[in-house]
Amino acid sequence: MNRTKLTAVIFAFMLSPLVITFSAFGIPDVPPDVVYIDEPYDYPTKPGTDAWRALTHTLDAKIEASQIPEDILHALTTRALVETVLDYPLLGNMWAFDSLKTGFDSVLSYFNGLQELANREDAVEHLAAFIDEVKASGILDADEIAPENYSVFSRYADATVIIAEIEKLRM
């Protein structure tokens, strides 16, 4: 074996523990041109704003205004996507049906963020982590939910429904 090949073999042997270590910690092979976004998407049009009020009074206009741009959607980490979905201005529509399954399916049919989340392998894990954070905060331990915690409680309730429905989809 010539010196160049011997050097390459020794170098590869020395790097193998690093490759094993990185794969054991779940560090994915990321294409060099992909930039991941670890902050939730900030919807440009939100309920209560003039821009939201300016939308026609149809659901379709609000749905269109609340979609996540595709390039951002696919770049969001699952943690950021969970926060983005829980911030979705029309997520409350999930509760407006005779059953939560029907409501979930309805929102799933028109919201690209929920569609993306339902397809992520680690979605349930990240939703469960959010639920655990809320439980650890003690907000749920009170006899009554304080008004300043209504949005946290609402997001908690939404997350529990989303987990259950994603699990059903995977059966």
The one-digit pLDDT tens for each residue of the chain (171 residues) are: 555 444 444 444 444 444 433 333 333 444 566 679 999 999 999 999 999 999 977 899 999 999 999 999 999 999 999 999 999 999 999 999 999 999 999 999 999 999 999 999 999 999 999 999 999 998 888 888 888 889 999 999 999 999 999 999 988
**pLDDT given at position 31:** 56
pLDDT score, position 32: 60
**What is the predicted pLDDT for the residue at 3?**
52
The CA distance from 48 to 5, in Å, is: 67
pTM, entire model: 0.78
What is the pLDDT, as a whole number, of residue 142? 80
Q: Are 127 and 78 in contact (CB under 8 A)?
A: no
CA 98 to centroid of chain Cα atoms: 26
**Contact by Cβ (8 Å): 122, 78:** yes
Per-residue DSSP letter, 56? -
Quote the DSSP letter at residue 67.
Answer: P
Q: Single out the residue of 45, 47, 83, 91 nearest to residue 64, CA to CA.
A: 45
Q: What's the confidence (pLDDT) of residue 34?
A: 67
Whole-number pLDDT of residue 56: 76
Maximum CA pair distance of the chain? 77
